[in-house]
Structure 1
Amino acid sequence: MSKVLIVGILACLSATIIGIISTAIPYWEYLHGSFLGQEGTLNIGLWRTCIKYKTIVASRSACADTQIDKDWWKAVQSLMLLGNGVLALSTLLGCLYYKTNAQSYVQGTVFTALLGGIMLITAVIVFEWRKRSINHLSVRVSS
């Protein structure tokens, strides 16, 4: 087997892992300012929202599920999940090609890698384009 094939499989695996991590972390949007009457930071992710603020006595933090019911938000979540799933499929097809040497796996691997990448990039573009409306959303965080 060629080294290019192994590098390609490892690249798909790396993209899948990075995609999963980026989908899960609560750092899609970072806001700094006054929240609940205290100076602090608000980290908004696709699934979790965390707030960190300082009081006179101590620093506090709280996280909760992100509760945004906008269609574009759900579209970004869906595209990220589907894109990660398709990238994982691409990695699997690449491994199957490495094992069996069947030409159809190469075509499937390339197609699914491109499709997964396009889905992830589209999700990020939609998020960046629509994030201006986050300032107008009511993000509920309870401790």
Structure 2
Amino acid sequence: MKHKVESWEERRKKAIVRGYNKERSGDKTTFDVSKIYDEEERRMEEDDGNKRCKVFKKPHEQFLEKKEEKRRKREEFLKAKAEKEKAMENCKKRKVEKYKKLNRKTRRGQPIMKERMEYLLEKIQKSIDA
């Protein structure tokens, strides 16, 4: 890549020197370097704009498509991650509730059977419905 840039700079310098010599040999009066630079840059912009559109159009479109695909995949990944975290949070919440229900004790340390019976009843009802 560096080689290409250097060769481009060389060609540009040669073109400017050529323009300078042409201007100098054709007109023996005054000489304006800024005029040559402005003309050369204007011509380079025109050429560069046309070539760039034709040559780099397809690779540029492919690059944009890949970029869009990457962005879309990232969004899907983040969405799936959020859903997974939400599901894990719900599971943890149910687990904590179940633990609280089943492990309640009286003052003397005896388990409260009412909570356990309700849990078993809910479990049976869910299995019948499903």
- Calculate the TM-score normalised by the size of structure 2: 0.26
Between structures 1 and 2, the one with greater strand share: 1
Structure number with greater Rg is 2
Larger RCO (CA under 8 A, 6+ residues apart): 1
- Calculate the TM-score normalised by the size of structure 1: 0.24
